[in-house]
Structure 1
Amino acid sequence: MIPFFVAIFLLGLSSLATAANFNQVFALTELDYEWPSEASRAQALRDGTFKPENVYPRYMAVYGTRLFLSLHKDEGIPVTLVSLPTSSASPKLTPFPSRNMHGPGDCDKIEEAKGLEVDSVGRLWVLDQGSISSNCSAKLLIIDLANKDQIKIIHRFPFRRWLHDLVLDETPDGTFAYITRSIEQNIVVFSLERNESWMVDTPGIRAYAIALSPKDQEARQLYLSEWNSNQQFSVSVAALRNGTRTANLNPIGNWTAISSFRMLMDNHGTMYAAFFQENHIFSCNTSQPFQEQRFHQVAGVYTGLPFTFALDQSGTFWMTVFDDKKKPRYRLLKATVGAKSYTFEASQVSE
């Protein structure tokens, strides 16, 4: 049983998150890359290798004064992993970690970036599921943001395609990544220290959105949502760390919306979820029985996947809003919520 004063404290945090006031950083009709020259941009527009109307943010991470986005791979999108400053009202998308690290058909380069996460020591973890037209296997890149963006690890998986998102489990005995695959009845576990990965079956469940309970929770839980379903599941990570090959998922509640594509946990146990074809973000306090609240709603957004979001190291919630039906198409919003990412302990809260 949660002590009374702890329950009141958690309720207060949940109320704070629900009442967050968002400020607009930018609102733009078009997002453009940073190009080597104006001539190279003009050539890309002429030959169709760049089509500004197809720029579509899907995943986000934040570190310091930089925001990182994975873009949906579509025709005319030459680079799918970019960075941009958190303070600019009219930013350019900078290919990350460099333009030369992107290109189809080269298995040593980034072909289609997907889920992103920053760990507690400033490393960016990037999923790359490869190109439809190439034979490159899916891979995981770890880039040291605090050390001149050096690529530290490239781990290749024994399969192609269908990566979705990841969370990081940093323990005294090592760091693990848990990764969802959008059409498979399994998740992937990766051990950083061993540079080794393995499949964990999720019988009957195609896990899609993923979140992890806070670092200082005694019995840490992995949360999973299934595509085309409103059910929410959890599983203890202890067995995943020890190499189990089958996860026994426990249903813990039902969202009112169907198909969550992105979930995010803060370091006090509040989980945020965005859904396919929904113009609002839900939140729930995972320290209590499952009960959702509306965290933020945007009027008139009709795009299938309108939001992506992340928490930074100073207690700020960052969110992009994409609306393909009206202008401006792109907005970046931020709100102070007094909580950090789940990768930090609960005592590490911004003033």
Structure 2
Amino acid sequence: MADPFALQSFKKLLFLTMVTTILWSCKLLTAFAEEEGDPKFEVMYEWKAINYSWDSLDDGSAMRRYKNYIPINNAISGVKIWKDRAYLTVPRWRRGVPSTLNWVPICDAQQDPSCPRSPPLTPFPSWEMQEPGNCSAIQYVQAVEIDPLGRMWVLDVGRRNILSPLPDNRCKAKLILLDLEGGGRVIHTYEFPDRVAPRLDSFLNDLVVDVNGNSPDGSDWFAYITDSGGVPTLGGGIVVYSLGTDESWRVTDLTSMRARIPSSFARVGGSLAILAFNVDGIAMSPKGRRDPQVYYSPLGSRGLYSLPVTALRNSKDRSAAPFVRYYGRKKSQSDGMMMDSEGNLYFGLLTLEGMGVVNDTALESTNGEYVGEDMLFMDPERLQWVDGLGFDNDGSLWFITNRLQNLEFFNVDLKEVNYRLNRFRTGTKSYMN
């Protein structure tokens, strides 16, 4: 018979060995992380304050634009990649944003030491197209999409200074198609009617482009656009635009598209954030999927929902409630989201300062029981408020972090890094491929 005291001593020794091993493993991992950096994503550019290529102005408006520039009100929100450029949006939430649609060259500092760490933004397609108050120019851009034909779908909110007590509502919301191969030439402009995007309270936030058409020139493609505006608890909507017929309509659902009071407030980066906005993030199934879905989530909600494309196309100006699919609650509220060519849905997790992912095959096989997203990475310093996302053609996902919780309450500290353009290797491409 074994000695009970010896057995107890052996158990204690085994436990202490396990604890010591775990502690040393953690120490080694920490040392590796400090030495090598986070291997999962890399910061390509970072800014304490956003600046612009003022020297590209060749007329008398340079000084006027510079005088009206208020650095703390300039925050990068969206990103899309095309060839050797990253296109960045700077929404006109408040006064003092000289250019709302811009670009920077893609440059890898690890390969080229001459790459600037904080490059100035160059207005796109021109300074003239950025004139505030000129309704034929671009007024407020938060999101764009670039289709496989090299056309940029620019979503112009129209309204400016919407986080101010007196927003400027003189311009209607519109969708502008620009030819990137043609230097940003305007191909088409569509103004949304007030019944689809009310001029006084709409907030066209983000969009996806449905390339599941039969026309090789993309003339029969659609755009699906989230409208986060309106009274938070009464819901927003999804706006559908048909390029083929050049018309738009609005699809609503009170349950899935509205912000919810318990989720409309959160702590992000240690500070209070007000998230009382309706349907916000949007993503779409990869090209060629059977029964393609459009996934979405309000900013002020943790719920994840989808609507089949057929319902969006056929539910003109009415509720789509019978067709809504509910998958469950994400670990946190999220802002931007995007799906890749393999059906992986990526989105930020605001209160966790991280990035999550879930596959559409897993979503559709759950029968209403959410499988939960995988956490790709967390970083309480560099991943405060993951916003816009975009894929390049080399298998990487690019995304913005911008600390919007500080902009909300006038707490932007220009002595700290506030805005980052990050890159994460996925080995996949955009949902449109």
TM range (shorter): 0.7 to 0.9
Call closer, same or farther: CA 1:243–1:302 in 2, change over 3 Å: closer
Corresponding residue number in structure 1 for 2:417: 328
Q: Distance in 1 between matches of 2:138 and 2:288?
A: 34
Instruction: Show structure 2 runs of 5+ residues with no match.
Output: 1-37, 108-114, 160-166, 215-219, 230-234, 259-278, 364-370, 404-411
Instruction: Name which of 167, 190, 206 aligns with 2:241.
Output: 190
Count of residue correspondences:
322
Pairwise mapping of residues 278-293 of structure 1 onto structure 2 (< 5 A)? 278-289=352-363, 290-293=371-374
In the alignment, is the contact (CA less than 8 A) between 1:262 and 1:275 conserved in 2? no
Is 1:141 the counterpart of 2:176 in the alignment?
A: yes
- Given residue 302 of structure 2, which amino acid in structure 1 is its aligned partner? N
Q: Distance in 2 between matches of 1:107 and 1:28?
A: 30
Instruction: Note the C-alpha offset of 1:301.
Output: 5.2
Call closer, same or farther: CA 1:20–1:120 in 2, change over 3 Å: farther
- Given residue 377 of structure 2, which amino acid in structure 1 is its aligned partner? H
Instruction: Name which of 130, 133, 140 aligns with 1:102.
Output: 130
Q: Distance in 2 between matches of 1:181 and 1:270?
A: 24
Instruction: Note the C-alpha offset of 1:44.
Output: 4.4
- Given residue 166 of structure 1, which amino acid in structure 2 is its aligned partner? L
Instruction: Name which of 72, 78, 89 aligns with 2:98.
Output: 78
- Aligned alpha-carbon RMSD (Å): 2.3
- Given residue 142 of structure 1, which amino acid in structure 2 is its aligned partner? L
Is 1:264 the counterpart of 2:292 in the alignment?
A: no
Is 1:169 the counterpart of 2:169 in the alignment?
A: no
In the alignment, is the contact (CA less than 8 A) between 1:62 and 1:310 conserved in 2? yes
In the alignment, is the contact (CA less than 8 A) between 1:117 and 1:126 conserved in 2? yes
Corresponding residue number in structure 1 for 2:379: 298
Q: Distance in 2 between matches of 1:268 and 1:302?
A: 24
- Given residue 257 of structure 1, which amino acid in structure 2 is its aligned partner? S
Corresponding residue number in structure 2 for 1:69: 88
Q: Specify which structure has the higher proportion of helix.
A: 2
In the alignment, is the contact (CA less than 8 A) between 2:397 and 2:426 conserved in 1? yes
Instruction: Note the C-alpha offset of 1:239.
Output: 2.5
Instruction: Note the C-alpha offset of 1:327.
Output: 2.3
Call closer, same or farther: CA 1:340–1:322 in 2, change over 3 Å: same
Name the SS of the counterpart of 1:234 in structure 2.
Answer: strand
Instruction: Note the C-alpha offset of 1:286.
Output: 1.4
Q: Distance in 2 between matches of 1:133 and 1:330?
A: 26
Pairwise mapping of residues 116-135 of structure 1 onto structure 2 (< 5 A)? 116-131=144-159, 132-135=167-170
Instruction: Note the C-alpha offset of 1:40.
Output: 6.2
In the alignment, is the contact (CA less than 8 A) between 1:114 and 1:164 conserved in 2? yes
Amino-acid identity (%): 32
Corresponding residue number in structure 1 for 2:431: 342
Corresponding residue number in structure 1 for 2:20: none
Q: Distance in 1 between matches of 2:342 and 2:298?
A: 24
Q: Distance in 2 between matches of 1:307 and 1:180?
A: 15
- Given residue 51 of structure 1, which amino acid in structure 2 is its aligned partner? I
In the alignment, is the contact (CA less than 8 A) between 2:77 and 2:91 conserved in 1? yes
Q: Distance in 1 between matches of 2:253 and 2:402?
A: 32
In the alignment, is the contact (CA less than 8 A) between 1:20 and 1:335 conserved in 2? no
In the alignment, is the contact (CA less than 8 A) between 2:386 and 2:399 conserved in 1? no
**CA deviation profile, 1:92-127 (whole Å, cap 9, x unmatched):** 211111110112222111111122111111111111
Q: Specify which structure has the higher proportion of strand.
A: 1
Q: Distance in 2 between matches of 1:120 and 1:272?
A: 20
In the alignment, is the contact (CA less than 8 A) between 1:20 and 1:337 conserved in 2? no
Q: Distance in 1 between matches of 2:133 and 2:59?
A: 26
Instruction: Note the C-alpha offset of 1:134.
Output: 3.8
Give the TM-score normalised by structure 1: 0.84
Name the SS of the counterpart of 2:312 in structure 1.
Answer: helix
Q: Distance in 2 between matches of 1:153 and 1:222?
A: 25
Corresponding residue number in structure 2 for 1:203: 254
Instruction: Note the C-alpha offset of 1:221.
Output: 0.7
Larger radius of gyration: 2
Give the TM-score normalised by structure 2: 0.69
Is 1:179 the counterpart of 2:225 in the alignment?
A: yes
Name the SS of the counterpart of 2:128 in structure 1.
Answer: helix
Instruction: Note the C-alpha offset of 1:293.
Output: 1.0
Instruction: Name which of 42, 63, 73 aligns with 1:54.
Output: 73
Call closer, same or farther: CA 1:210–1:140 in 2, change over 3 Å: same
Instruction: Note the C-alpha offset of 1:147.
Output: 2.4
Q: Distance in 2 between matches of 1:203 and 1:232?
A: 14
Corresponding residue number in structure 2 for 1:214: 286
Is 1:274 the counterpart of 2:302 in the alignment?
A: no
Name the SS of the counterpart of 2:390 in structure 1.
Answer: strand
Corresponding residue number in structure 2 for 1:238: 310
Q: Distance in 1 between matches of 2:340 and 2:104?
A: 23
- Given residue 83 of structure 1, which amino acid in structure 2 is its aligned partner? W
Corresponding residue number in structure 2 for 1:349: none
Instruction: Note the C-alpha offset of 1:77.
Output: 0.8
Q: Distance in 2 between matches of 1:50 and 1:277?
A: 31
Instruction: Note the C-alpha offset of 1:185.
Output: 3.3
Q: Distance in 2 between matches of 1:265 and 1:329?
A: 26
In the alignment, is the contact (CA less than 8 A) between 2:80 and 2:146 conserved in 1? yes
